[in-house]
Amino acid sequence: MLTDQNKPQLYGSQYHYNAAMGKPEFFPIADEAHVDERRASMGLGPLADYAKGFGLEYKPVAK
């Protein structure tokens, strides 16, 4: 819902195809340095693992 409102997402589950870059990418993520902590609190695995399932590459942001 947040991405539909042009706001950063919380858990990193939403992505889109960036035609200019020619590849899929995640929509912006709020406080991205702590996304894996938020994901864990909801019983979700690390974003990098989730991304692999969709053929996306994700490198965690340094805290």
Which DSSP string do the residues of 6-40 spell out, in sequence order? Answer: T--BSSS--EEEETTTTEEEEPPBTTGGGHHHHHH
Helix (H) or strand (E) holding 1: none
5-58: pLDDT as tens digits: 999 999 999 999 999 989 899 999 999 999 999 999 999 999 999 999 988 889
pLDDT at res. 35? 97
What does pTM read for this prediction? 0.85
pLDDT at res. 9? 97
Number of other CB atoms surrounding residue 44 within 10 Å:
16
